[in-house]
Amino acid sequence: MTNDELNQILELNGEERYDYFLSLVGEEREIWILVNAENRFLKIESEGAALAHLPVWPGSAFAAEYAKGTGDLSPKSISLPDFFRKWVPGLTRDGLEVGVFPGHDDTLWITEPEELKRDLQDEMSGF
């Protein structure tokens, strides 16, 4: 993917990026997160910690672009079966939402883990 293509996708609005995410993840069967040197995943909390979410991306290049300038964050892939089996219950238990595909405009689609799982399963049923 060229830089122009990457930036073009990152310029889409939150809903368009969500649809792109579902399509690409449905095809590739993996989700990308960012982890630090200790292999701890990036979690973003709103002011006052009223809302916390795990940001996810449909590909390594998008996660890497987001991590530019952070120093110690690097993309890590999670297979879709692992995400469904381990991450969705864990995120739900911990009260974490999922922030799907942050873009250049700092908007993103925030959803519950179970809802994202259903949307991805619906997407994959078309393959």
Digit-coded pLDDT (tens) for 68-113: 877 789 999 999 999 999 999 999 999 999 999 998 777 788 999 9
Rounded CA separation 72/35 (Å) = 8
Q: What pLDDT is attached to residue 49?
A: 62
How buried is residue 19: exposed, middle or buried, by Cβ count under 10 Å (0-12/13-18/19+)?
A: middle
Q: What pLDDT is attached to residue 99?
A: 95
Q: What's the number of CA atoms in the CB half-sphere (13 Å) around residue 66?
A: 31
pTM of this structure: 0.92
| pLDDT band of 48, cuts 50, 70, 90 | low
Give me 15's structure tokens.
Answer: 């809903």
Q: Of 20-24, 42-46, 72-76, 88-92, which gets the smallest average pLDDT?
A: 42-46
Strands 52-56 and 74-79: unpaired
